[in-house]
Structure 1
Amino acid sequence: MTVNGRFDRPGADTSIVPAQVNRDNSAPTEVTIVLPCYNEQAHVLTEIERITTAMDRSGLRYELLAIDDASTDHTLDVLREAANRFPQLRILAFHRNGGSGTARRIGTEQARGAIVVWTDADMTYPNERIPEFVRLLLRDPHIDQVVGARTSEQGSHKLLRVPAKWLIRKIAEWLAGTRIPDLNSGLRAFRRDVSLPYLRLLPAGFSCVTTITMAFLHNQHDVHYLPITYARRSGSSKFHFVRDAYRYILQVLRMVMYFNPLKVLMPPSLFLLAIGSGKVVYDLVAHPVRIATNTVLLLCAGLIVGAVALLADLIVRSRIDWLPGKRT
């Protein structure tokens, strides 16, 4: 099926978009591949051919959902021409740029497949291996997400990017309490019904992949990692080192605060209380019957942070509008 149109806003109801039915819908779709596209005119057709060739050979029933994120080049024209060749290609066109996170969120919401695959259209990921990811989910009902763990780094700002990503990943591992081989890989497959409660947490930018990983891990969903190669990007990179690294760190902290605030707030609270208690002993020894003002401030700060931590944890535990995804 091919759907062509332009939304007035990202996330608009697709029922208003004219559709042309080109294939038999009697068999349910097993897999939806969400492909965000922003200024990818030079290579998006090659990527579509690579994905559809691999999926056709796999025998899986699938749809390829290409989302044009208000590209300023001819990406949308290329997609519309490709729709005539590939009956499994469905197109969503945004009227304004919403970011890769918005595209992936809306693509997952609009997906017809029970399994959703996220990948990129920049030729970096081995998309010919998508059937392998899907079959792992079909074979093992206990696995909820399969992530491609990159064995090399080919992005821009490599000297700064590699240590920064390593540090962020280590922070995420400590906060999540588990090993994470690749925190922000763009190639992953997961069960759509499990992911639905977490879609509202996805930010608009690149850190959406970090968010979906942390959400699954914090809710005890099994995440499996497959080693993959990572090629040099085709076209210009949309990654901005300082801005996106800052967003990654904030998003990791935000996710842990959302699911387990004690993990973030209790350590600094106990640290402040320990320092304040030691300072009390020092003050009483050095200056009997007098406790310094900074000692009182340390103790008060520790108590306030600890109280906020307990209050935040109480809110998380009593939240009734949040249920982990369940399989049907």
Structure 2
Amino acid sequence: MNSLSIILPAKNEAPALAGLLPRLRAAQPTAEIIVVDDGSTDDTRAVCAQHGIQCLSSPYSMGNGAAIKRGARVATGSILVFMDGDGQHDPADIARMLEKLDQGYDMIVGARDWGSQAGVGRGVANTFYNWLASRMTGHFVADLTSGFRVARADKFCEFLHLLPNGFSYPTTSTMAFFRSAYPVTYVPIKAAERIGKSHIKPLRDGLRFLLIIFKIATLYSPLKLFVPASAVFLLLGCINYTWTFIHEGRLTNMSTLMWSAAVIVFLIGLVSEQITALTYMKGRES
């Protein structure tokens, strides 16, 4: 029988953990539960001690992804469950997600509905991410950024070197599983309103969300991003050349510049594709 480790990254989530940990223990009484304290300044450690839960403490905040990596490294279970420590995820959903393992899946993601999104802006952004990831991978992606997921430990730990220390570990892990042909599926969930204040700041994290779009492409198949971009530059160069040749009877520097850009972007895509392949090879060898 597979052993289960539940990992909860937490930063100043003591009020939420006080209610979540007893429910989690009741839902999965035999599971190993690990709270990774990401530099909390509240009573997170005391709450864990009160409920007899293992707590890994960091002297300062390293980020959500860093907490996930620390928890995965010390977990002893063959199956890993990742949940947010803010009370949004229902422990009762774990059983439904675990059932999918028997169907041959290596990762099961809790897919939030629209009503579970943290605001319209986040909902629109996540919908776009899901669409882009689906186009890039050729597989339906119901929730790319959900932090509630179940994964086989041996498969997940292959990609620890890829995971960022920040908030985009769900995106990275999902694309890594698709890239390595590890089956991924989704289970519909309803996320409750978080307890306490969110650590995500729209202005500070705006650039991070934009970078996720490029990470989706570069983690799966860089050529799928760079080839269309190269084609756009090539087409613009041809259009500019046609216009200037008809009206001025000459080749302009702008056309040459666009054609050069097309070649450069395409070559960058080729190099990126090789780097991506080597990156995943490193994960399998480590």
TM-score scaled by length of structure 1: 0.81
Q: Give the residue type in structure 1 aligned to 2:114.
A: S
1:55 matched to which residue of 2?
A: 28
Q: Is the 8 A contact 2:222 2:269 kept in 1?
A: yes
What's the RMSD between the two structures over aligned residues? 2.2
Instruction: Using the TM superposition, give the Cα deviation of residue 277 of structure 1 relative to its aligned residue in structure 2, in angstroms.
Output: 1.9
Q: Which amino acid aligns with 1:36?
A: P
Following superposition, the deviation at residue 251 of structure 1 comes to 3.0
Matched to 1:42, the amino acid is: P
Inter-partner Cα distance in structure 2 for 1:176 and 1:241: 28
TM-score (norm 2): 0.92
Letter in 1 for 2:73: E
Report the AA paired with residue 199 of structure 2. K
Does 2:91 align with 1:118? Answer: no
Inter-partner Cα distance in structure 1 for 2:204 and 2:132:
18
Aligned-pair CA distance for 1:256: 2.5
Question: Superposed, which structure 2 residues align to 1:305-320 within 5 Å?
Answer: 305-317=265-277
Equivalences for residues 6-21 of structure 1 within 5 A: none
Aligned counterpart, 2:255: 295
Q: Deviations over 1:282-319 (max 9, x none)?
A: 3332223x211111111111111112212222344456
Q: Distance in 2 between matches of 1:77 and 1:319?
A: 40
The structure that is helix-richer by fraction is 2
What is the aligned partner in structure 1 of residue 146 from structure 2?
A: 185
Asked whether the 8 Å contact 2:117–2:123 carries over to 1, the reply is: no
Distance in 1 between the 2:20 and 2:236 partners?
57
Match in the other structure for 2:134: 173
2:14 counterpart of 1:41: yes
Rg larger in structure? 1
Q: Name the SS of the counterpart of 1:124 in structure 2.
A: coil
Letter in 2 for 1:175: M
Would the aligned equivalents of 2:114 and 2:123 in 1 still touch at CA under 8 Å?
A: no
How many residues are treated as equivalent by the alignment?
Answer: 286
Contact 2:13 2:196 in 1 (8 A): yes
Separation (CA, whole Å) in 1 of partners of 2:132 and 2:182: 20
Deviation, 1:45, is 2.2
Question: Distance in 2 between the 1:229 and 1:256 partners?
Answer: 28
Task: Tell me how far apart the structure 1 counterparts of residues 158 and 267 of structure 2 sit (CA, whole Å).
Answer: 29
Change (3 A) 1:81 1:232: same
% identical equivalent positions:
29
2:197 corresponds in structure 1 to 236
Q: Structure 1 residues 160 and 255, CA, compared in 2 at 3 Å: closer, same or farther?
A: closer
* Other-structure match for 1:220: 181
C-alpha separation between the residues in 1 aligned to 2:82 and 2:147?
6
Q: Which piece of structure 1 moves more, 160-169 or 293-302? A: 160-169
Alignment of 1:122-271 (within 5 A): 122-137=86-101, 139-140=102-103, 142-154=104-116, 156=118, 158-271=119-232
Supply the distance in 2 between the matched residues of 1:160 and 1:104 (Cα, whole angstroms).
26
User: How many angstroms apart in 2 are the aligned matches of 1:303 and 1:105?
Assistant: 39
Instruction: Write the letter of the residue equivalent to 2:39.
Output: A
Contact 2:48 2:54 in 1 (8 A): no
Cα distance per residue 1:214-263 (max 9 Å; x no partner):
11122221111011111111111112223334313313422432441101
Instruction: Give SS of 2:186's match.
Output: strand
Match of 1:80 among 49, 52, 57: 49
In 1, distance between residues paired with 2:97 and 2:280? Answer: 33
- Alpha-carbon spacing, 1:169–1:246, altered in 2? closer, same or farther (3 Å): farther
Contact 2:134–2:141 (8 Å) recurs in 1: yes
**CA drift at 1:135:** 3.2
Q: Between 303-312 and 185-194, report the one with greater CA deviation.
A: 303-312
Change (3 A) 1:220 1:300: same
> Structure 1: 5+ residue runs without aligned partners?
1-27, 84-88
Could you list the per-position Cα deviations for residues 158-186 of structure 1 after superposition, in whole angstroms to 9, with x for gaps in the alignment? 13222222223222222223221111111
1:64 is aligned to 2:24: no
Mapped to 2, the partners of 1:159 and 1:35 lie a distance apart of 26
